[in-house]
Amino acid sequence: MLIHPMPDPIAFSIGPLQVHWYGLMYLLAFAQFIALGRLRIRQPHIAAVGWKKEDLDDMLFYGVLGVVIGGRLGEILFYNPSYYFANPADMIAVWKGGMSFHGGFLGVLIAMYIWGRKRGRHLMDIMDFIAPMVPLGYAAGRLGNFINAELPGRVADASLPWAMIWPNVDNLPRHPSPIYQMLVDGILLFIVLWFFARKPRPRMAVAGMFSLLYGCARFFTEYFRTPDYNVSFGGITISAGQMLSVPMIVLGIALLIVAYKRNTVTSPA
């Protein structure tokens, strides 16, 4: 039986400065955004609408604020409001983990809207551009969750070769759900979306495909994760993560319908 290694959440220390693995994963996520962005602006249909290297650095600043502020607020409000309002000092302790993707998604939308107003770009053109760079950053975050021994999976059959005991939870074999979400919601989604976005698509199509695929992938992988809490609708019980993924699925379908109904490829802003 595999046992979670429970590594030290502190990767290394420099004097009084402690560098956490979770922070390193976010640094990796932002670095891959720049690296993939530089590849993306070389694609002919992206270069044709005026995207430049300078846009990446500017967007990253706004995006970091959107991810961190939105992700943390999402974790506080969507998942653990009672805990955080009882322990307000922990609201800013992001190095301990606890970032909501759905909150970060909303935060990035707001940040990109503000950046777009400043630069004269349509919000959906921005989201179409950055969508293929998001899944690998998400995957890095889920790896950080695993290192921190967060988001334990549901109890698994002991015969499952990769079932794992999480010593900080109990002695039962569990699914390594952060790894599932890293692989499916992150890496697999990146591969599909990157190839989809390599060709010119109507405005909103790439963003819509991301929203649809992420919502579906997250809804699926949530079946293997211990839910933060459950919600019931008409006798059907789903987890909080699944509930928050449903609007993304609906949004993705709506964006794709509108995009292909208009059937016009993005033109320069």
Give per-residue pLDDT as tens, 19-57: 888 889 989 999 999 999 999 999 999 999 999 888 998
Strand partners, 20: 10
Of 55-59, 174-178, 261-265, the range with the lowest mean pLDDT is 261-265
Whose CA is closest to 57, among 33, 41, 23, 26?
A: 33
Predicted confidence at residue 187, as pLDDT, reads 98
pTM of the model: 0.88
Question: Quick one: pLDDT band at residue 136, thresholds 50, 70, 90?
Answer: very high
Q: Check if the beta carbon of residue 3 is closer than 8 Å to that of residue 164.
A: yes
Higher pLDDT, 133 or 262: 133
Cα 135 to its chain centre, rounded Å, is: 6
Predicted confidence at residue 29, as pLDDT, reads 92
Which two structure tokens, joined as six digits, stand for 180?
A: 């599932």
pLDDT tens for 237-257 read: 999 899 999 999 999 999 999
- Which amino acid makes up residue 269? A
Predicted confidence at residue 79, as pLDDT, reads 81
Distance in angstroms (rounded) separating the CA atoms of residues 185 and 144: 15
Cα 93 to its chain centre, rounded Å, is: 19
Of 142-156, 160-174, 251-265, the range with the lowest mean pLDDT is 251-265
| Cβ count near 176 (within 10 Å) | 23
Question: Quick one: pLDDT band at residue 267, thresholds 50, 70, 90?
Answer: very low
pLDDT tens for 67-94 read: 889 988 988 888 888 888 888 888 877 7
Tell me the pLDDT of the chain averaged across its residues: 91
Whose CA is closest to 193, among 176, 180, 211?
A: 211
Predicted confidence at residue 96, as pLDDT, reads 63
Q: Is 142 annotated to bind ligand?
A: yes
Distance in angstroms (rounded) separating the CA atoms of residues 123 and 3: 45
**Does the structure show a pLDDT above 70 at 269?**
no
Average pLDDT over residues 219-225: 96
CA distance readout (Å), 125 to 56, 94, 198: 14, 31, 15
**Does the structure show a pLDDT above 50 at 3?**
yes
Predicted confidence at residue 95, as pLDDT, reads 62
> Given the DSSP bridges, would you call strands 230-233 and 17-20 parallel, antiparallel or unpaired?
unpaired
Distance in angstroms (rounded) separating the CA atoms of residues 113 and 66: 11
Whose CA is closest to 159, among 181, 141, 175?
A: 175
Average pLDDT over residues 92-97: 69
